[in-house]
Chains A and B, each alone.
Chain A
Amino acid sequence: MKSKKLSIPYLIWMVVFTLIPLATIIFYAFTNKQGNFSFEPFQNAFFYSDVFVRSIWIALVSCLICIILAYPMAYIMSRCKERTQNLFVMLITIPMWMNFLLRIYAWVILLQNNGPIDTALSILGINANLMGNAGTVVLGMVYEFLPFMILPIYTVMSKIDNRLIEAAQDLGSNSVQIFKKVVFPLSIPGIISGITMVFVPSASTFLVAQYLGGTDNIMIGDVIDKIFWTDQNTGSAISLILMVAILIFLVLMNFFGDEEAIS
């Protein structure tokens, strides 16, 4: 009884700040400007499918690169002495204490024409326009969200019982086999929560693309932002489609993730 009472504030919070807004978005997505039931917003939303696919694609690529970079890092961290581990965690989180926009601005300055990286490359004889393409946007995303991939994987890995690894060694596994049969399967929950924390925000963020991208890199978040100024219905419809797409993706992830963890 007592625990039920304790949960009441959270329930109210959920209803007011999650369920009601969600219901409002669904309501707007299925009504036209006159307030009647209609699929018009979805028909309008269809126009932006290119942008939509592009955003999901950029999010997926960023997410994949994050995994490739984060996994070894998390593994190395979890094998270190505890004091070193804490130091690593601190070093990874320090950049997050700084304002998001400020860090993106820093990349703009690093990458711009005649900026430090461009100058260094031109000395080596490489003349490339570093700004305003999809690659830069992915770079910005990876930079921004990498900590959110490293930390969950690291947390899960550092909890792996060392005795399991020792047992595998005793049973004659070499290090590759240990990794394949013990460490990797046990770390999958970390990868999944990492993907959730990276993929979801990178699919909907637009600041990175606005600062590091060019005219061809407009993201779906940007479209939602601008459309909402005058047309809440279409904006809601796009948001809803994005939410459903992310939900499907995450359900699939969890489905495969569970299976692999069992086998």
Chain B
Amino acid sequence: MKKFISIILALTLCTACASLFTGCSNSYEGEINVYNWGEYISNGEDGTIDIISEFEKQFNIKVNYTNYETNEEMYNILKNSNSSYDVIIPSDYMISKLIEEDMLAEINFDNIPNFDKNIMERFKNPEYDKGSKYSVPYSWGVVAMVYNKTMIPEKPTGWNALWNEEYKGNILMFNNSRDAMAIAMQMCNIDPSVVTKEDIDKATEKLKEQRPLLKKYVMDQVFTEMEGNQSAIAPYYAGDIFTMMDNNEDLDYVLPEEGSNLFVDAMCIPKDSKNKELAEKFINFMLEPEMAAANAEYIGYSTPNTAAFELLDENYRNSELISPPDEYLDKCYTFYNLPDDVYSYMQEQFVKAQS
């Protein structure tokens, strides 16, 4: 009996080894390192497309996929670590910073035919990358407000709702200096895309004025707060508001009449990339309508890809929140890179306004 078991064990071991070797023999033609936000690509859950493995299968290229949580984290890794990345997906202001510091490679658009074919005109030649040399837009959205209809019967119109005494103790605010300051600046009639220290001082005063009315400064907690009917109103990213409204019928959105922040995350190739052509292949693949549509559905943010947009669900396409009308987008602004000392000052003043 003992012998029998040991034979079985030996056999299973052999097959395990064999399968390991066959795994190795399936050699890839190349390899790329993709560095993206967490939960920012369709991964095959719930019948969606697993984009990474789809790409690996089609082109026989191995993708090493890693995540970051913030633009700043990505920047620090890119700047200070030895690892080289081939595709990164930073936000607008971070892209302009990377361009200024000469950390991005110029993209050869001959390898990305889908850019001309599929990308919406509005997202070509953006402010953060004049002439579209370094970046290919991946996803975008605006900052809007979400409010609870049972607590606020009349639909608010602008950012001043976040300073309204009537909702005292039920207002949430961004726990993130750039977004919070931008809203405060709009309240002071300052253009938040590029700012000076004096602008920050004014915005800080505005935020201090708001603090007694607030329930909390939040980021991810906004979901539980709003979906659980705990707070009346909060500013947040449009795609996430769409998700919240899906989960709680009492919620509705407001596109603030003053205009808002339009943010874009775009794919770039770092200067030290060793597989630039494969990276371009990957970027082009991401612009395929099915892939971009799968991503848009998974992430919940808007897509800059016309062909993908056509493939999306109808109530998604018709939502003003996901794709605001052009007249509204013209009122919006995009963040631009701030000099280090100004950004540091902004962060410091934001912490001071909170403490």
Binding site for B on A (CB under 8 A): 44, 47-48, 50-51, 105, 108-109, 112-114, 129, 131-132, 210-211, 214-215, 218, 223, 226-227, 229-231, 234
Contact of B215 with A211 in the complex, beta carbons under 8 Å: no
Show 18 residue pairs from A and B whose CB-CB distance is below 8 angstroms, ordered by the A residue.
A44-B348, A105-B224, A109-B228, A112-B228, A131-B230, A214-B216, A215-B211, A215-B214, A215-B215, A215-B217, A223-B351, A226-B177, A227-B347, A227-B348, A229-B347, A230-B344, A230-B347, A234-B348
Partner of B221 from A113, A211, A218 at Cβ < 8 Å: A211
Known: A48-B355, A114-B229, A211-B221. A132 touches B216 (CB 8 A): yes
A218 contacts which chain B residues (CB < 8 A)?
354-355
A231 contacts which chain B residues (CB < 8 A)?
344, 347-348
Q: CB of B343 within 8 A of chain A?
A: yes
Q: CB of B72 within 8 A of chain A?
A: yes
Known: A50-B355, A132-B215, A215-B215. A108 touches B224 (CB 8 A): yes
Contact of A226 with B351 in the complex, beta carbons under 8 Å: yes
A131 contacts which chain B residues (CB < 8 A)?
230
Nearest-CB residue, chain B, relative to A54 = B355
A227 contacts which chain B residues (CB < 8 A)?
347-348, 351
In the complex, the number of residue pairs spanning A and B with C-beta atoms less than 8 Å apart equals 53
Q: A124: shortest Cβ distance to chain B, in Å?
A: 21
Interface residue count for B (Cβ, 8 Å)? 24
Q: CB of B352 within 8 A of chain A?
A: yes
B72 contacts which chain A residues (CB < 8 A)?
229
Q: CB of B350 within 8 A of chain A?
A: yes
Query: 8 Å CB contacts to A: which residues of B308-350?
Result: 340, 343-344, 347-348, 350
Nearest-CB residue, chain B, relative to A105 = B224
Partner of A215 from B177, B229, B340, B354 at Cβ < 8 Å: B354
Known: A214-B216, A215-B354. A230 touches B224 (CB 8 A): no
A48 contacts which chain B residues (CB < 8 A)?
351, 355
The CA-CA distance from A218 to B350 in the complex, in Å, is 13
Contact of A226 with B229 in the complex, beta carbons under 8 Å: no
Contact of B230 with A112 in the complex, beta carbons under 8 Å: yes
